[in-house]
Structure 1
Amino acid sequence: MNKYLLLIATLVFPFLSFGQKYQVNVIPKPKQVEILAGEFKFQANTKIFYHQSTYGKAVFLANLLRNATGYKFPMVVTDKAQSGINLLILNDSALAKEDYHLEITTSQVKIIAADTAGIFNGIQTFRQLLPVSIEKKSKIGAQWSVPAMQISDGPRFAWRGYMQDVSRTFYSVQVMKKYLDVMALYKLNVLHLHLTDDQGWRIELKKHPELTTKKTTVFADKHEEPAERSGFYTQEQLRDLIQYAAARNITIVPEIDVPGHCWPIILTHPELGVNKKRTPEHVFPFLASWSYWGYQFTPNPLDPTKEEVYTFLDDVFTEVAALFPSTYIHFGGDEVVHRLWESEPHVQAFMKEKGFKKVNELQAYFVNRICKIIKEKGKKPIGWNDILDGGTALSRETAIMSWLGDEATKQAASQQFYTVATPTDYLYFDITQDDRNDGTMSDLAYGNINSLKRVYSLNPTAGLSPEEEKYVLGLQANQWTAIPQEVKDMNVQNFPRLLAVAEVGWTAQADRSFDDFNHRLDAHYPRLDALRIDYFTKGGYITGTWDPGKLENDAKTVEWDVTSKVYANGRVTAGFFYTKGKSFLKIKQVELLENGRVISVDNHEGLADTYRGTHKPKTYLYRMKVDHYKAKAKYTLRAIVSGTKGTDSYGNLTFSQSPYMPFVATQKIP
């Protein structure tokens, strides 16, 4: 079937008839599905019957159904199944945590589970069985029905996570709530919030208000960053977000990254640093690190020899532990530049006093001190797998987030540490997913491609013994927002790859097939469209090309029609990605025109060459904006270009617009 016909069909029918069999396109794939005869039809008087403990889930379901159907769906508390929609708690040893059983007949819908998490998972499956138009916020005139079937289901892993870096780029509570909504739809149940890093401190602490002053939360004016990329969450906002997540079966795990990646602490408490490096006296975007420091890592980590460091961090983790109900608190522990410790005489004296032969032992000392602090708050510590280096005395209550190397998960599990698999070369979603020259905002310093198929191919327990497998909590995708800063760019990096993560975390390895997943995925693009979520498509942001025929030996003006790429008020990024030829491309000026009139200009001089790193400016990228979008206007990109060594040059012109208001319009659905 033609892909686009399939997408249109799924707007009305989330399952298609092949012969006499329904294709159930649920993601993640359920354990068991049995199609029955008939269908359940919604009526104006259909009721939702719920066990008293599932009231919140019943409200969620009722709100989901009411908008598009126009029906009232009155809610009735009961312990017995009746004609209508039923949410039933059953004390059954066959139902593990988060398991559910969904039974749809001509007269009833029953979602049965041993806990409210299972009920909620069943609701999400039921939601996916409904037409995509159920996501509408206004009434749709239609007959609503679901085929009769039975589904028995439950997760493979308890930790099915997504990490959002809100330090390098800050995102509003509204953006994070949207992400929680979509995570819930696909049964992802852990949101790891990377709240602090060199680029900003994003959590209010009552005892230390200095950590959320302008110099620690707002990018310096010279960097001309949009205002919404700076800021912090108040404790009230975080409580609201935590409650919102909990209602969707999602736990928020906070991360306070120490002893490296903590420039905001150094700015406000320079006495806690290991040396005297204290410039610049403000936070700044990640890509500016090289211009300030000569490399990306903190030049002044916390001093592990000072007791006042641990007193300060005790204050920090006291408030964090009181705010977040999660079992775990993440303390980072990664990418500490050890030579900055080793070069200090007082640190060398401390190591000698403690009998430390290697700096790794000093790191282990710091890690153990932090783990003790966190455990004293009634929480379990978790850190990046850097903390295993030299940490033979590390408490086994400390969990490991395994990101470095193919053997990281096994390294942790073989030592009986509980671990979350999050390997860079599968699950770092700031990494390119298809073509390094397609203009998507990915970190091109990485040479690998984390394609959808590669993500799906991950087996978090591969190579582990049955005993080691017991220590794998699950898996997690990570979105580092140094480069994909715009919400649209972040979405394109995350989707549909997050759906693959959801299935890897939920569905048994033996029951997974990429071809089958990819087939079911076609039915989910319309749902992402309905939710106004951009996602990756082949070709990325490629809008045009250049070749020798477009160039001359001297500077020449070249134009590309970008009308189809402009659809709202928003920021624009145009890119010139050299792909081959004897000559690179020089760019002198780039203009965006509306009906032949210039509306935005970026006049810096750039070079399209082979450079794809992060340690110097990407001059081949141009920034513009549209402030007064006209739906029927023609939009043109115009550039003055020339070859560096003649006209033998080829490349891609990429163009992407990011609306000022996220999740309102997408390129596909303006």
Structure 2
Amino acid sequence: MKTLFSILILFIALPDYVCTQNAKTISIIPKPVSMTVGDGEFSITDKSVIYCDTEAQKVAKFLSSFLQKPTGYKIPIEVKKDTRNRKKGILLSISKKYNLPEEGYTLEVDNDRILICASDAGGLFNGTQSLRQLLPSDIESENTVRSAKWTVPAVSIQDKPYYKWRGYMKDVSRTFYSIDVIKKYMDAMALYKLNTLHFHLTDDQGWRIEIKKYPELTSKKTTTFSAKYNQPAERSGFYTQNQIKELVAYAVERNITIVPEIDVPGHVWPIILAHPELGVNDMRTPDYVVPFLTSWSYWGFQFTPNPLDPTKESVYTFLDNIFTEVAALFSGKYIHYGGDEVVHRLWESEEHVKEFMKEKGFTKVEQLQSYFVNRISKILLEKGKTPMGWNDILNDEENLSRDVAIMSWLGDVKSAVDKGFKTVATPSGYLYFDITQDDRNDGTMTDLAYGNINSIKRIYNYDPRASLGEKEKDLVLGIQANMWSAIAIEVKDMNVQNFPRLLALSEIAWKPLADRNLQDFYSRLENHYPRLDRMRIDYFRKGGYITGKWSPADLSTDYKPLEWDITKKVYANGRAIAGFYYTNGQNFMDIRKVQLLEDGRVISEDIHQGLADKQRDTSLPKTYLYNLQVDTYNPNAKYTLRAEVAGKGGTDSYGNFTFNLSPYKPFTVIEPK
């Protein structure tokens, strides 16, 4: 008991981070609350054994399985009652007697043993992820690394999270991703102790979850983009209920809760296609789902032109049936129902809606939305779930049930917590990872409609609790980053948007602002790039996809070819985007043809009239982007990009040429340094 008592006293009394000089070589992210580094190291060998108590068996099995692939060792597990008191081995123990915080843990390493203790399974799992980061980066390899030495430095760590909700949102409606991609993301989330995957399953671009009562929701026209949009087949589809169960089980093993989102009453185009009688008007065009960027050409904006009709009882019966199935599939506490970006004028323009509002005594359309939200919330509460919606629904907060949790993307959390709502902070001004992280002209696939730059520094210095009173702080459930898949569609592009920003997210979710150090984080971050390399996860590098430049000396007012050697940028079979980003000068640049050459032979080309100009609006075509592909990659060939260009009305034009190849098979190869 003396050792345990000492741990608890240390947990309470130590400043936020304690370390010796040797700790500079240890780069755990998120940084532990306290850590001391001792002498010596523990070696994991083919003779190692994991000892655990009964409560720790699941985590022990996970750890043994994880270690087997890179080490080649099948590490046995022995269940013992006195695990914590053993002198040798890898020891895992869970007990309420330890009185450790929720998801907190202690990790002790010396020459003879590794001891991880926690009061719950989540804390024990978090301890194993710190152990994972103490091992060489080769531990992330998919194949056995025979030459590696699997040593763990002697340390003493006491750790606990700042926020309970440490989340990441994956939008699988605008672009569908396979369960293998989702699993890979959960692997990365687990490594960095992120514990909530917000699963945006439905939107105007597709319904992505099987509902057995309504199979028409996953018909071809509600899940598959038309061939005329030239979208790869893997961007369409849906998850069967068995696949959802598989993902939920995979998440639970990794201390992750999946929060499903069924977005209503706006963003419901697939519902309207399958059940037009549930819409508020007669709008039915087009009779299939379309890619996000095509929405404007049909509707004049990106929002559903036919939201659900809040006056119809059939709408609530329909949604009740859907949420019955959703609630049974997901084991977590929360179900997200969206509620954002409803075009209220589409309700207000209907006579039957006006009459309904009059009958209910509603004087403004926001009251009608609250009526809808409260009806849906009641449905979810009756199923034992806590309802959650985007903070758009706060426009009529006085009529909104406090049983609803809020996800704050517009502005900050203050408008929600001041009114007594529990909330998750996910502001677009800091934590939208589809927004540029460095340079708006670097060719990375970002939503350039936003003017802000969500850099590592900006993210790292964000804390939604910083300006709140103590009572309001308690209402902040946590923090989450969102990745919308409208622009960054390819998995490689999505990875570049998410990493390393996801690591910054993990640290600000784990530590309060007062206990962070940006320069120290940058230093530790450098040691995580090799780890991401082993995981075959691409990440952002300064300069983005900039491969070359043009200047007045390169141009004529007559078309002429410009060429760039892109051999180092072609490294696998895949789809590629060549971009021409005007940066300054009196003249734009016309483009009429772009070709990809392999040893002087054209292997792909895109012929269309383009203009390298200032246009960055999401809703307008970016004609300065050209699509190419590599189908028979030759590692010994020279690859060249040739573009036929001309100065428009003059040659005073400067810009960046960008080139980005996304492998057909994600997570198999990364772009060379």
TM-score of Structure 1 vs Structure 2, range by shorter chain: over 0.9
The residue number in structure 1 matching 2:641 is 637
The residue number in structure 1 matching 2:129 is 124
Alignment match of 2:138 (pick from 133, 138, 147): 133
Task: After TM superposition, give the deviation of residue 63 of structure 1 in Å.
Answer: 1.9
Task: After TM superposition, give the deviation of residue 144 of structure 1 in Å.
Answer: 2.4
Contact 2:462 / 2:513 at 8 angstroms: preserved in 1?
no
The residue number in structure 1 matching 2:253 is 247
**Amino acid aligned to 1:106:** N
Q: Provide the rounded CA distance (Å) in 2 between the counterparts of 1:233 and 1:68.
A: 30
Is 1:611 equivalent to 2:615 in the alignment?
yes
1:491-547 deviations in Å (ceiling 9; x for gaps): 000000000110001123321111111111000000000000000000000000111
Alignment match of 2:44 (pick from 42, 45, 55): 42
Q: Provide the rounded CA distance (Å) in 2 between the counterparts of 1:534 and 1:598.
A: 28
Q: Provide the rounded CA distance (Å) in 2 between the counterparts of 1:514 and 1:602.
A: 43
**Amino acid aligned to 1:128:** Q
Q: Provide the rounded CA distance (Å) in 1 between the counterparts of 2:152 and 2:220.
A: 53
Contact 2:138 / 2:148 at 8 angstroms: preserved in 1?
no
1:616-652 deviations in Å (ceiling 9; x for gaps): 2111100010000000110001011001111111100
SS in 1 for 2:263: strand
1:567-607 deviations in Å (ceiling 9; x for gaps): 00000001000001111011000000000000001001111
SS in 2 for 1:573: strand
**Amino acid aligned to 1:566:** V
1:409-464 deviations in Å (ceiling 9; x for gaps): 11111122110000010000000000000000000011111011101111121211
**Amino acid aligned to 2:210:** E
Give percent identity, aligned residues only.
62
Q: Provide the rounded CA distance (Å) in 2 between the counterparts of 1:242 and 1:570.
A: 31
Distance change in 2, residues 1:568/1:416 (3 Å): same
Superposition pairs for residues 423-572 of structure 1, below 5 Å?
423-572=427-576
SS in 2 for 1:391: helix
Alignment match of 1:580 (pick from 574, 581, 584): 584
**Amino acid aligned to 1:367:** V
The residue number in structure 2 matching 1:351 is 357
Task: After TM superposition, give the deviation of residue 22 of structure 1 in Å.
Answer: 4.7
1:148-201 deviations in Å (ceiling 9; x for gaps): 110000100110000000000000000000000000000000000000000000
Task: After TM superposition, give the deviation of residue 70 of structure 1 in Å.
Answer: 2.8
SS in 1 for 2:430: helix
The residue number in structure 1 matching 2:56 is 54
SS in 2 for 1:181: helix
The residue number in structure 2 matching 1:89 is 94
SS in 2 for 1:242: helix
Task: After TM superposition, give the deviation of residue 141 of structure 1 in Å.
Answer: 2.0
SS in 1 for 2:543: coil
Task: After TM superposition, give the deviation of residue 20 of structure 1 in Å.
Answer: 5.4
Distance change in 2, residues 1:93/1:582 (3 Å): same
Is 1:215 equivalent to 2:217 in the alignment?
no
The residue number in structure 2 matching 1:648 is 652
The residue number in structure 1 matching 2:667 is 663
**Amino acid aligned to 2:483:** Q
Task: After TM superposition, give the deviation of residue 553 of structure 1 in Å.
Answer: 1.8
Task: After TM superposition, give the deviation of residue 41 of structure 1 in Å.
Answer: 2.1
Moved more, 72-81 or 298-307: 72-81
The residue number in structure 2 matching 1:70 is 72
Contact 1:218 / 1:283 at 8 angstroms: preserved in 2?
yes
Q: Provide the rounded CA distance (Å) in 2 between the counterparts of 1:586 and 1:143.
A: 56
Contact 2:569 / 2:672 at 8 angstroms: preserved in 1?
no
Superposition pairs for residues 255-270 of structure 1, below 5 Å?
255-270=261-276
SS in 1 for 2:398: coil
Task: After TM superposition, give the deviation of residue 59 of structure 1 in Å.
Answer: 1.6
Contact 2:22 / 2:37 at 8 angstroms: preserved in 1?
no
Contact 2:20 / 2:36 at 8 angstroms: preserved in 1?
no
Task: After TM superposition, give the deviation of residue 58 of structure 1 in Å.
Answer: 1.1
SS in 2 for 1:389: helix
Unmatched 5+ stretches in structure 2:
1-18
Contact 2:98 / 2:118 at 8 angstroms: preserved in 1?
no
SS in 2 for 1:46: coil
SS in 2 for 1:382: strand
Q: Provide the rounded CA distance (Å) in 1 between the counterparts of 2:384 and 2:49.
A: 42
Alignment match of 2:31 (pick from 20, 29, 32): 29
Alignment match of 1:112 (pick from 117, 127, 144): 117
**Amino acid aligned to 1:185:** L
The residue number in structure 2 matching 1:299 is 305
Is 1:326 equivalent to 2:306 in the alignment?
no
**Amino acid aligned to 2:216:** E
**Amino acid aligned to 1:430:** D
Q: Provide the rounded CA distance (Å) in 1 between the counterparts of 2:307 and 2:666.
A: 36
Distance change in 2, residues 1:21/1:421 (3 Å): closer
Task: After TM superposition, give the deviation of residue 665 of structure 1 in Å.
Answer: 0.3
The residue number in structure 1 matching 2:186 is 180
Distance change in 2, residues 1:19/1:357 (3 Å): closer
Q: Provide the rounded CA distance (Å) in 2 between the counterparts of 1:425 and 1:19.
A: 37
The residue number in structure 2 matching 1:103 is 108
SS in 1 for 2:97: coil
Contact 1:361 / 1:391 at 8 angstroms: preserved in 2?
no
The residue number in structure 2 matching 1:8 is none
Q: Provide the rounded CA distance (Å) in 2 between the counterparts of 1:46 and 1:305.
A: 65
The residue number in structure 2 matching 1:10 is none
Contact 1:22 / 1:35 at 8 angstroms: preserved in 2?
no
